[in-house]
Amino acid sequence: MPQSAKHCLTYIFITFYFSGSFQAPVNAQTPFLLNQLQESDQTGVVVIGLMKGNSDYQNMQVRMFGGKHTISPTVESKYFSVVKFNRENVRIEFKIDVPGNKWAATQFSFRFFSTERSLWGALLQRQVDMAMLSDEDFARAVNRSNPAYNVRPLEKAPNTLEMIAYNLTHPILQEIAVRKAIAYAVSRKKIKEDILNQKGEPAQGSVFEPDNDYYPRGIEKYNANRRRAIEILRSSGWIDMDNDGIREKDGRKLQISLAYRKGIEVEQRIAKEIDIACSRIGIDITPVPLLMTELSSRLKEKKYDAVLWEHQFEENARSVYDFFTDNESSFIHFSNGNYERIFALHEQESSAGRKRELTKQMLMLINENSVVTCLVFKWYDLYMINSAKLGNVINIMTTKIRPIDEWQLIPQR
C-alpha cells in the first residue's frame, strides 16, 4: 500500500462511524430465527458469521493451537470434536482446556449466510459475535444499533488483487483482442471511488503494486479508453451487423458470462459495473452469482467463461507461476513458451537482482497477453466484533486476527 494511503487510513477509521446517512430498517422481514439468537447467548459459545460466497463448509480450517486444523466429521482432532456439521452451521467443542487462557470459549459455532444483507440482519439482532462485511453502510448500521459491535478495518496483505480471470480455452475469450478490449473498457478509478469508497488502489497492469520492487516499468496499464477498446474489437472482426448492440463474428455473438461470489455486496457491484462498461463497447456480459462450493467446482473443471477473483500474491516468481500456470494450483493454466523459459531460468538463478528482473519479464508477458484484467488492490476488510463479549481477538502489533484459542470471553456482570 502506498505510504500516503496508509497515513490516511487513520482518518478513515476515525470518521467511519460518523459519515453516511444509511438507516437500517429492522422489521419482521429481517431473516433470522429466535433459536439462533439463543445460541449466541449461551455461555462459552462464540458465533462467527461466514458467507457461503466466501466459505465452503466442506473445506473448513481453523487457526488454533499453533497451526491450522481441518474441521471434518471424518477427521479426528485431539483438540476439538465436531458437534454439528451442515451447510448452515458447523460447530466445534474443545476437548481440552486452552493452556494459559482461563477465559477461552468452550465452543465455536460457524453460521453460513447466503447474502451479506442476511448476515447484517443477524448482527443487528446480536445473533453473531464476529463477522466480516464488505459494505460500509451495513457496518455503520450495526454500530449505530449496538455500539458494542466495533468496526475494525484490518489491513489486507500487500498485493491483494481483485481481477477478472479468463478461461483461456473459451472459444471467444481465447482471443487476446477480446480480453484487451475488456481491460480498456473497465474504469478502475470508478471502482475505487464509487464501489470501494477509496478502500483500494487502481491496479496498473501488474499483479504487484506500483511501489513494489517487482513492478515492471513501462508495462501497459490498460487505463479506461472506450475508443481504444472499440477499435481493438473492430480491427479483430467483431462488428454489430444487426444493430442489436452486441457485436458478432463468424456467426457468433460476443456474449460471455462473468461468475462472482454470491452475496458479497462489493463483488456484486463490481460485476454490475463490468457489465455496464462492456455493454458500451458491444460485449454482452451476464453476471452469474455462485456459492463458493459451486464456483470452486466450475473453476476446477474449467466450466466458466470469466470470473471475478481476489488473490494475494507473494513477492516472488513462484507465487506468480503457481497462480497463472501450475498444473495443480492454477485454474487459468496460461501456456507460453517464452514465459516457461524465463521461469526455468529464474529457478536456476542465484542472484536476487537477476531473479527480480526475470520475474518482471514474466509479468510483462502476462500483461501483453491480457491473461487477467487487473482491477484494484484492496487495502482492508471490515470486521464486526462484539466487544461486550469478546476480547483479545485482534493482535494490536500485527493488526491481524489471532488464533481462536487466544480469544477471551468478557466476564458478564
Q: What is the 3-state secondary structure (H, E, C) of 167-203?
A: CCCCCCCCCHHHHHHHHHHCCHHHHHHHHCCCCEEEC
Does residue 7 carry a pLDDT above 70? no
Residue type, 51: M
Residues 413 and 394: their CA atoms lie apart, in Å, by: 23
pTM of the model: 0.85
Does residue 201 carry a pLDDT above 90? yes
For residue 413, the model assigns a pLDDT of: 62
Query: Band of the pLDDT at 4, cuts 50, 70, 90?
Result: very low
For residue 70, the model assigns a pLDDT of: 94
What are the residue ranges of CATH 3.40.190.10 in the chain?
A: 3-156+380-409
User: Residue 256 pairs with which residues in a beta bridge?
Assistant: 285
For residue 143, the model assigns a pLDDT of: 92
For residue 25, the model assigns a pLDDT of: 34
CATH superfamily of 3-156+380-409: Periplasmic binding protein-like II (3.40.190.10)
* Other residues' Cβ atoms within 10 Å of the Cβ of residue 100: 8
Residues 368 and 359: their CA atoms lie apart, in Å, by: 14
Query: Band of the pLDDT at 327, cuts 50, 70, 90?
Result: very high
Does residue 32 carry a pLDDT above 70? no
For residue 287, the model assigns a pLDDT of: 98
Residues 408 and 391: their CA atoms lie apart, in Å, by: 5
Mean pLDDT, rounded, for 171-196: 96
For residue 38, the model assigns a pLDDT of: 55
Decide the pairing of beta strands 394-395 and 372-378. unpaired
List strand residue ranges (DSSP E) for 269-350, in order.
284-290, 306-312
What are the residue ranges of CATH 3.10.105.10 in the chain?
A: 160-378
Residues 136 and 52: their CA atoms lie apart, in Å, by: 20
Q: Please state which of the ranges 99-113, 174-188, 276-290 shows the lowest mean pLDDT.
A: 99-113
For residue 29, the model assigns a pLDDT of: 36
Residues 166 and 174: their CA atoms lie apart, in Å, by: 8
Residue with cell 453476471: 287
- Who has greater pLDDT, 16 or 276? 276
For domain 160-378, the CATH architecture is: Roll (3.10)
Longest CA–CA span in the chain (Å) reads 73
